Chains A and B, each alone.
Chain A
Amino acid sequence: MRIRTGFVSNSSSTSFLIVTKGEMTLERFLALVGVLPGSVMGGVFAQLYEAMMDSPWHRVDFGADGAPEVDEAVASWRNADLSDHMMERIREAKGRGEIVIYGELSSDNEPVETFFCCESFELDGEGLYINALEATW
Chain B
Amino acid sequence: MIVPVPNERYSPHYVDGYVLLLRQIQTPEAFLTAAGVTGEGYAATLMRTIYRQLYVKSLDFKHEFDTYYKPEYRSFSEYLERNYSVPDELLEKADQYYEEYAHILLAHPYASFLHNEEGEKRLKALLEEPD
Q: What residues make up the interface of A, taking CB atoms closer than 8 Å to B?
A: 1, 3, 5, 32-36, 38-45, 47, 111-112, 114-115, 119, 121, 123, 125
Contacts and interface: CB of A to CB of B under 8 A. Distances in A.
Interface of B: 34-47, 111-113, 115-116, 118-119, 122, 125-126
A111 B109 CA distance: 13
Contacts of A114: 112
Contacts of B119: 111
A43 B37 CA distance: 12
A3 B122 contact: no
For chain B, what secondary structure do more than half of its interface residues adopt (helix, strand, loop), or is it mixed?
helix
A36 B38 contact: yes
B112 A3 contact: no
B117 to A, nearest CB: 11
Contacts of A112: 112-113
A45 B38 CA distance: 13
Contact of B41 (A33, A39, A44): A33
B36 A41 contact: yes
